[in-house]
Amino acid sequence: MIIRRTSEVIRLATAMSQIQNSDALSYKDKIDMLNQSYLRLYSDLNNNGDLYYVKEIAFEEYNSQEKEHKFKLPNDFWKLDLVGYRGTMGDIVPIERAPNTTQYFSGYRLINNELVFSNYFLPGPLVVRYIPQPQTLTFPRNGYKISGPDIQAAYDSLNDVIILGGLGDITVIDNHNGARRNTAVEGVFVLAVSAGIIYVVQETGILCFDFELNLVSSFEGTFDLYAHSIGWEEGVIVSVSGTPMRYVSGSEPKESEDYWNFLDGMIVKTGHSFIYSDNEEARDISDIFQSADSFVIADPYIYINQSGTVKVYDEFLPSDMAPALVGRGSRKGLVLAAEVNNESGYGVIFRDFYSGLNMIGYAADTVLNYPQNIFFDWLITDLAVKFRIALDIPTGELPALEADYHDTLMRGLSRDAYQTARINNRYGRAFI
C-alpha cells in the first residue's frame, strides 16, 4: 500500500511546477488547491462507477401503516447511489425515484436529507447505498495554540469544531466558519459531541446544544459525571448510577453497553475489562488501558494518558506518534480529545503542561492512500498547474500531462470492476 502525506504531495507539486519562490503561496493557499483537486477526483471516481467510497445502511422498520413515511439519512450523506429493499435471497431490489414536480404514488423522493415514501410498503428491509461527503484537509501538521484555561474538550473533525469545557462555561470554536461562541453552564459537568450536538452532562440532567449554542433538548435525572461519544453512530454513552445508557438528542434513552465503534467492530468496556469484537473475533485488549489515568478512543487510534505521558496505539499496536504529540524536548501533557468521525489529516487536542492547550495535526492523511501511482500523479500535476496559474506563470505542457494522467486513471476503472476492492486502507469497503 502506498502512503503519501499531504506535505509530500505539496512538495512534489511545487517541484514539478518549478516555482522559484514557493513562499509566495501560503500553506492555506496550497491546502485549498489540494482540496479542489481532490474534490474533483472524488467526484470523477464516483461518477465513473468506482464503489470504493460507497457506504451502505439498512432500515429494519418497514411495512408501516402510515401513508407517508420518512427515513433520515446519515449526517455524512452526500449523494445517493442506490435505494432498494432486501429480497428473500439477500439481493437488493432497486426502488425508482419519483419525479420531483408531480404527484407520485410509488417510489421515493429525497427532501431535506430524508427519503420520503408515499403509500409506503416494502416486502423487506430498506437498504440505502450512498456516497459520503468528501473529506478535506484543514490545518497544518504543526497545529496551533488554543487560548483559555479549559480542562476538558471535545472535537468534531467533520465540521472542524472544537468544544472546550471550563469552570462554569463552555466555548465553541467553529474553525470552519471562523466563529467563537460561549455560554454559561452552572456547576460541574462533563461533555461529549456527536452528530453536531453537544451533550453537557450534569449530576441533575443533560443539556443538548447545537454548535450555535442553542439549547435543542434536555433530559432530567440523576447522572454520574461520565460521558463519551461512540464514533460514527449518533449518540453518546452516559452513566446512570453506574449503569451505561445511550442518549440521543430528541429521542428516548436506551439501556446500552459501554461501547465505542472501532474499526469494523466495537470496543466494549465492562468494569475494568475492554473487549474488542467484530464478526470474526473477540479479543481482550485490557492491557492497553492498564494503569491509565485517562484515555481517548478515536478509530483507529487509542490514546493513553499516564503520569503526564502519552502512549498512542494504532489498531492495538504501539505507535511512534507520541513524540510528535509531546513536541519539543521532554515536555509532557495529555490528550483531551481526538477526531471522532473517522476522518483523516486532522489530529488531537493536547494539553501541554508548559504551553497549555494545542490543536496538533500529526496523523497520516490516509484518505489519500490509493494503490495506484496514477492517483497521486494526477493530484500532483493538477496542483502544479494551479500553482503556476495562481502565480501568473505560463503553464507550458503541464495541462496536457494532467489530462493524460486523468484519462489513464478513469480508463483504468473498468479493468477491475469484477475483481476485489483495489482500496485496502481503513476506509476500504467491498460489496458483493
pTM of the model: 0.58
Q: What is the pLDDT of residue 23?
A: 65
> Would you call 350 helix, strand, or coil by DSSP?
strand
Residue carrying C-alpha cell 450555535 = 212
Indicate the DSSP class of residue 299. T
Q: What is the pLDDT of residue 274?
A: 93
Residue 150's contacts (CB-CB under 8 Å, 6 or more residues apart) are 164, 165, 166, 171, 357
Residue 92's contacts (CB-CB under 8 Å, 6 or more residues apart) are 82, 84, 85, 86, 127
Report how far residue 34's alpha carbon sits from residue 12's, in angstroms, rounded to the nearest whole number.
Answer: 12
Enumerate the domain spans of the chain. Answer: 6-51+367-416, 55-132, 144-364
Q: How far is CA 251 from CA 115, 190, 227, 246, 254, in A?
A: 20, 20, 17, 10, 9
Report how far residue 117's alpha carbon sits from residue 83's, in angstroms, rounded to the nearest whole number.
Answer: 11
Strand partners, 161: 156, 174
Contact between 123 and 307 under an 8 Å Cβ cutoff? The reply is: no
Indicate the DSSP class of residue 98. P
Report how far residue 224's alpha carbon sits from residue 240's, in angstroms, rounded to the nearest whole number.
Answer: 6
Residue 188's contacts (CB-CB under 8 Å, 6 or more residues apart) are 202, 203, 225
Contact between 285 and 275 under an 8 Å Cβ cutoff? The reply is: yes
Q: What is the pLDDT of residue 15?
A: 76
Residue 244's contacts (CB-CB under 8 Å, 6 or more residues apart) are 237, 238, 255, 256, 257, 258
- The domain defined by 144-364 folds into Neuraminidase (2.120.10)
Residue carrying C-alpha cell 490545518 = 139
Question: What tens-digit pLDDT sequence spans the chain (432 residues)?
Answer: 233 456 667 777 777 777 766 667 766 677 778 778 888 888 888 887 777 778 888 886 655 556 677 888 887 788 888 898 888 777 888 888 887 666 766 788 888 888 888 766 777 788 999 988 876 665 444 567 777 666 888 888 777 788 898 888 899 988 767 788 889 988 889 999 988 899 999 999 999 999 889 998 989 888 988 999 988 788 899 999 888 999 998 888 888 999 998 887 889 999 889 999 887 788 899 999 988 888 988 877 888 888 888 888 878 888 766 655 655 555 678 888 887 554 444 578 888 877 788 877 654 444 554 444 677 788 888 989 998 898 888 888 889 989 888 887 777 665 444 444 444 333 333 322
* Cα 32-36-38 angle, rounded to 5 deg: 115
